[in-house]
């Protein structure tokens, strides 16, 4: 694990239920900073943020954990989030799925992503889906022991024309 670039600036904590709507908006913002999609995709993410937060709240009430990264130098602004869950996919290569891990650009490269990964899934066997061409994320996952297993899925709707690959550890 690489050392933190600015020790003490970013802190990870379990998300409170009332923080989940903001965390969903941070996810939408992270998409804008990270992906090469057209504006309509980002607008849809913005519009779906409240709905996503309601689903996350239900999962949290059933015992799921959502982790957020806060920026202690910016009034505790949420700048990242992560969640893992037991997959409902019968063909999953392992039960644990890292369903999301996102950071805003200002937190990338700080080393906090390594700690967020550790907090979310530790060194457990897990799998995830990553957008093909997201080289920074792929390198990050590879550094954490994930490898592409050859399984891909075509995205649909506004994301048609893009594909995700599955990575397994």
The 10s digit of each residue's pLDDT in 34-50 is 988 888 888 888 888 99
Residue for token pair 């920026």: 71
Whether residue 2 is predicted with pLDDT greater than 80 in this model: the reply is no
Nearest to 109 by CA among 64, 73, 85, 139: 139
CB 128 within 8 A of CB 166: yes
Task: Over range 55-59, report the average pLDDT.
Answer: 96
CB atoms within 10 A of CB 32: 15
DSSP one-letter string for 117-169: HHHHHTT---EEEEETT-HHHHHHHHHTT-EEEEEEEE--GGGTT-EEEEEE-
Residues in CB range of 61: below 8 A, 6 or more apart: 17
Q: What is the pLDDT of residues 111-138, one digit of tens each?
A: 999 999 999 999 999 999 999 989 999 9
pTM above threshold 0.95: no
Query: What's the pLDDT at 157?
Result: 87
């Amino acid at each position: 694990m690489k050392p933190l670039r600015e020790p003490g600036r970013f802190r990870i904590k379990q998300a409170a239920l009332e923080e989940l709507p903001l965390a969903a908006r941070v996810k939408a913002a992270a998409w804008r900073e990270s992906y090469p999609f057209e504006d309509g995709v980002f607008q849809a993410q913005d519009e779906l943020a409240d709905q996503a937060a309601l689903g996350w709240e239900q999962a949290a009430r059933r015992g799921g954990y959502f982790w957020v990264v806060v920026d202690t130098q910016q009034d505790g602004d949420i700048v990242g989030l992560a969640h893992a869950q037991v997959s409902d996919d019968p063909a999953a290569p392992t039960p644990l799925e890292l369903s999301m891990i996102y950071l805003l650009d200002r937190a990338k490269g700080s080393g906090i992503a390594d700690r967020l990964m550790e907090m979310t899934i530790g060194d457990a066997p897990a799998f995830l889906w990553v957008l093909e061409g997201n080289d920074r994320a792929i390198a990050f996952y590879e550094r954490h022991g994930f490898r592409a297993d050859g399984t891909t899925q075509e995205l649909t709707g506004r994301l048609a024309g893009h594909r995700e690959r599955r990575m397994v550890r």
